């Protein structure tokens, strides 16, 4: 059975209900990543909190290369991730789930590839379909079996952060075809592709984009809405594990 990794985003810092059998710091040429290994139905599940256990690492400072390389070195073949996102459509309300299918990258300062030096083995990876069709199918099956509503497609717009977006930026992203906005999935998804790891993201809508609703976007709002959706998200991730592990 292929080994499964889970990367938890904002508000998702540990695997509830799974016995952790090991915690360690995995060091590679890019840095150190802290991981927990749990056991489920006889299989190892590798979990990582993207922002650290206490959300101490902002999105623009996450060591994406160290994290993904650690997953690869541990033998992970599939990675499911979660991400808190802002909505770019009034009909896509806070609390809803979106299974990402495409992305638009507006990050500026991040190292987005492992091929950052001269490397005779470098490759131009195809990202026509950036998210794993296999994992997306398994997650959709799990959602249907557990009667959890999830939007099956969504284009994610990634910005540098850690600030929230301006109202003008939100208007631009809507015109470009974006559905949700966040700060972390890129370059994570690209690095996974370079390592030949299947990767999928369940995005949790926590707020409307700037200028779409009265008031300001706040970190407190993001946490509050994510907290309300967390039980459903945990249920979906566990159901997806069942679908993958049981074959």
| Residue ranges per structural domain of the chain | 3-115+123-246
**92 pLDDT higher than 70:** yes
Q: Residue range 8-20: average pLDDT?
A: 82
- Predicted confidence (pLDDT) per residue in 104-113, tens digit: 999 999 999 9
Note the pTM of the prediction, 2 decimals. Answer: 0.95
Residue 66: what pLDDT? 96
180, 86 contact by CB (below 8 A): yes
Q: Residue range 226-234: average pLDDT?
A: 91
**214 pLDDT higher than 90:** no
The CATH code of domain 3-115+123-246 reads 3.40.50.1580
- Other CB atoms within 10 Å distance of the CB of residue 29: 8
Cα separation, 62 vs 66, in Å, equals: 9
């Amino acid at each position: 059975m292929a080994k499964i990794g889970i990367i938890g985003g904002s508000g998702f810092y540990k695997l509830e209900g799974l016995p952790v059998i090991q915690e360690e710091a995995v060091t590679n040429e890019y840095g150190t990543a802290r991981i927990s290994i749990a056991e489920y139905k006889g299989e190892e599940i590798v979990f990582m909190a993207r922002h650290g256990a206490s959300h101490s690492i902002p999105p623009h400072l996450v060591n994406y290369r160290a994290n993904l390389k650690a997953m690869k070195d541990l033998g992970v073949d599939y990675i499911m991730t979660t991400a808190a996102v802002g909505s770019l459509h009034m009909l896509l309300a806070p609390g809803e789930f979106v299974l990402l299918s495409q992305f638009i990258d507006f990050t500026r300062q991040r190292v987005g590839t492992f091929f950052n030096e001269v490397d005779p083995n470098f490759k131009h990876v195809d990202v026509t379909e950036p998210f794993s069709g296999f994992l997306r199918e398994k997650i959709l099956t799990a959602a249907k079996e557990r009667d959890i509503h999830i939007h099956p497609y969504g284009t994610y717009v990634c910005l540098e952060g850690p600030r929230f977006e301006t109202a003008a930026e939100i208007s631009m992203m809507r015109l470009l075809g974006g559905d949700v906005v966040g700060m972390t999935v890129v370059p994570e998804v690209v690095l996974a592709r370079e390592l030949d790891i299947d990767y999928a993201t369940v995005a949790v809508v926590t707020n409307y984009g700037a200028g779409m609703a009265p008031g300001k976007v706040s970190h407190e709002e993001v946490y509050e809405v994510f907290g309300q959706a967390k039980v459903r998200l945990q249920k979906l991730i566990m159901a997806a594990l069942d679908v993958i592990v049981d074959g």
